[in-house]
Structure 1
C-alpha cells in the first residue's frame, strides 16, 4: 500500500497505518488520526510522542465528560480511542527505559481501556493469571451472560503490542462471533515489561501453559475447543507453545514466523554459522560498528534494535541480535504441532516477508496458508488496515475447524 503519510519513513508510516486499521473495531477515528499525523515531524520520536499524547489527552477528556453527563456509550468509544492513542504515544521511547513518559502514557492507555471495558455488556473483565512467582495481566471477554462454556480463543500480541491493543486485534471480532476470549501480556510485553521488568523468553510453552491452566478453570471456556492466536512475533511464539502443549485445539499464526535468526543474521557477512559465531562472540568491534551504522541509516532498524534491547533485556545491539537466534521453530519444533493450523501471510510484510511460507512448509499437521494481497488492501504486516477482511477470513476458518455455526 502506498504511504499516505511519511513516504520516506517506513516505520512511521506503518505505525500510522496500524492506527488507521484499528478504526475497524473502535480504536481510532479517521480524522483524529489524520490531523495527528499531519502535525508529526517525520523521524522525530519526541514529535511522535507529543502529538499522539495531545490527541489522547483530548479524547480521554471527551470520554470523562461523556461519562459524567450520563452517556456511557460515547464515553466507552472515547476511552477506547484514547487508549490506543496513548499506546502509540510511548511506542518509540524505549531506547531510554528510564524515560518517565513511557510509564505515563502506558498507564494512561491501560486506565482508559479499563474505563471502556467496564462499559461493555457483558463487561470486559481484567484478570491476573498466575505465572511463576507473579501474575500476567489480561482480559476475559464473555459473549453473553449465560455462564456456559463456549469455544474459546486465547490470544496475545507480539514484539511491541499490548493486551489492550488485542481488543482491536482480534478480541472484539471473536466475541461478536460468540467466542469466549482471554487475552494476556506475557514476559517482555507491555503489561509485564513496564512495571515487572520481565523480558521475553523463547520457550513460550512455559508462558502459555499457565494461561491454559487458568482458562480451563473458567466456566465460560470449553476446555476441548481452545484456539491459540499469536500476532506478529506471536506468530512464532504461539506455534512454539502449540508444539509442546497439545491442549491447544487450533492454532492461528498472524502472521506466521519460522526463524528470527534469519533476520538477525541477514546483514552479517559470511554464512549462517559464521554470522551466529560473530553475534555471540565476546568482542567484535567491527560488527558492533556496522550495526550502529545500520541503525543510523535505517529508521526501522533503529527502532527495532532499541525496542528489542528493551524487551529482550539485551545490553547492546549485538546482544539483542544474538538473543534473537534462540527464537525459532527449527530442529523439528514446527513438525511437533498436531492441531489444525492457520498461517497468515501479507504479500508486502515489511518485517517477516517469506517467514509464513517457511513455517507452512515445515508443518505436518492439518494446515492452511491464508494469503492477503495488495488488491485487497491487506498486504501489510498482520494485515494492518484490513482488519474486517482479515478477521472475517480468520474466524470463518476457526468456525469451520470447530464446527461452529451461527
Structure 2
C-alpha cells in the first residue's frame, strides 16, 4: 500500500496503518488516528508516545461519564491507543511509561467487557488471555489465537476474535512467553519450541464446556506465522492451523541485510566478540527505522543484552530441518504482497513455508488492489477475517 504518512519512516507508517485498520472492529477511529499522527515527528519515539497517550487519556476520561455502549466503544479505542503509546519505548525496559501504558490498555479492554479474562496453567505459572463464547447450543469449533513478535492478546479482538464469535466459533486468545502479558507479569521471554506453549492451551480448551474436541484450530499472527506451524508440527490434537502470514525462517528478515550466508551469520552472532558484526548492526539500525525498532524490541522480548545476542536468538525461529514437513493437519498460509518484514525476496517466506508442507495446504495471497498487501493485512482486517473463517468453515 502506498505510504501516505511518514514518507521516510516505513516503521512509523506501518504502525499508523495498523491503527487505521483496527477501526474495522472498533479498535480505533480514522480521524482520531490521523489527528494524533499529525502531531508525531518521524523517528521520535517520545512524540509518538505523547500523541497516543494523550489521545487515550482523553477517551478514558470521557468514558467515565458515558452511557454503557458509548463507554464500551471509548474504552476499546483507548485500549488500542494506550498499547500503541508504549510500542516504541522498549529500548529502555526500565522506562516507567511502558508499564503505565500497557496496564491502562489492559484495564480499558477488560472494562469494555467484550470477553472473559482467563488464566491458563503453564509451567508453574499462568498465561493470560480471553475467552469468547459463541451463542447457541451444542458443541462449537474453537479457534485458539496468539500474536507474534509485538502484538497483544487484547489486540487480537480486532484481528479475528470478534469476527470468530460472529461466525459461531468459540475463540481463545492468549499471550505466550515473550508477549506483553507474559513479560509484564511473569518475566517470560520468547521461546522457539512453541509446542510447549500451545499444548497446555489445548489442554485448557478441552476442559471447557461446549467445545467440539475434533474442531480445534490454531491461528498465529506475524511471528506467530512461524510459531503456530511449529506448534502444529508436534501438537496433533489440532484440526487446522493458520499462519497470518506464513514464515518458514524468521531470521530471513535479518540475514537478507547482511553480507554473509546464514551459517556464517549464526556463527558470528553467537561469538563472544565480533566488532565487525556489531558495527554492521549499528549502521543498520541508523539506516533503517525498522531494524532500529526490531533490535530494541527484540532485546526486550527475547531477553537479550545486545543487538547481536538478539539476532542469535531470533535465528532459532525457523521451520527448517524437517519441522514444516511434520505438520499433518490442513494448513492455511496467508501472504501479503508487500510485506514490510518478510517480503522482497525472490521467494517470500509464506511461499517457502507452503513449498515445504506435506499436509493439505492452501496459499491465500492478499494484494494492493484489495488494500490488503501490508504485513498481516492490517489495512483490510474484515476482508482477511472473512476469507480465513470461510476456509476454516470448509476445513473443519
Bucket of the pairwise TM-score, normalised by the shorter protein: over 0.9
Does 1:202 pair with 2:192?
yes
Alignment of 1:301-340 (within 5 A): 301-340=291-330
Deviation at 1:112, TM superposition (A): 0.1
Partner of 2:352: 358
Is 1:59 the counterpart of 2:56? The answer is: no
Q: 2:76 — aligned with what?
A: 80
Alpha-carbon contact 1:291-1:317 (below 8 Å) kept: yes
Q: Secondary structure at the match of 2:233?
A: helix
Equivalent residue number for residue 90 of structure 1:
86
What does residue 29 of structure 2 align with? 29
Q: Which stretch shifts more, 127-136 or 274-283?
A: 274-283
Alignment of 1:197-346 (within 5 A): 197-346=187-336
CA distance in 2, matches of 1:233, 1:269: 24
Separation of aligned partners in 1, 2:252 and 2:380: 27
1:170 matches 2:160: yes
Alignment TM-score, normalising by the size of structure 1: 0.95
Partner of 2:368: 374
SS at match of 2:317: coil
**Aligned position for 1:141:** 132
1:367-403 per-position Cα deviation (integer Å, ceiling 9, x unaligned) = 000000000000000001101111111101111111x
| Deviation string, structure 1 residues 137-195 (Cα, Å, up to 9, x no partner) | 0000011264x420010000110000000000110011100100000000000001123
* SS of residue paired to 1:400: helix
Q: Equivalents in 2 of 1:259, 1:245: separation in Å?
A: 20
TM-score by length of 2: 0.97
Q: Take 1:75 and 1:47, find their aligned partners in 2: how far apart are those partners?
A: 27
CA RMSD of the aligned region, Å?
A: 1.0
In the alignment, is the contact (CA less than 8 A) between 2:49 and 2:84 conserved in 1?
Answer: yes
Retained in 2: the 8 A contact 1:228–1:238? yes
Q: Provide the C-alpha distance between the structure 2 equivalents of 1:220 and 1:49, rounded to a whole number of angstroms.
A: 42
Unaligned 5+ runs, structure 2: none
- Per-residue deviation, residues 180-235 of structure 1 (Å, max 9, x unmatched): 00000000000011232110000000000000000100013211100100000001
In 2, are the aligned partners of 1:142 and 1:220 still within 8 Å (CA)?
no
Partner of 1:386: 380
- The residue correspondences of 1:32-47 to structure 2 (distance < 5 A) are 32-47=32-47
1:259-296 CA-to-partner distances (Å, cap 9, x unmatched) read 12323322332322222211111110111111111111
2:252/2:342 contact within 8 Å kept: no
Q: Which runs of 4+ in 1 moved over 4 A?
A: none
Structure 2 CA distance for aligned equivalents of residues 3 and 326 of structure 1: 32
1: CA distance between counterparts of 2:185 and 2:89?
A: 15
Asked if 2 retains the 8 angstrom alpha-carbon contact of 1:264 and 1:322, the reply is no
What is the distance in 2 between the residues matched to 1:264 and 1:61?
42
Displacement, 1:83? Answer: 0.3
- Counterpart of 1:186 in structure 2 is 176
Aligned length: 392
CA contact (8 A) 2:72 2:112 kept: yes
1:340–1:365: 8 Å Cα contact kept in structure 2? yes
**CA–CA distance in structure 1, aligned partners of residues 218 and 50 of structure 2:** 36
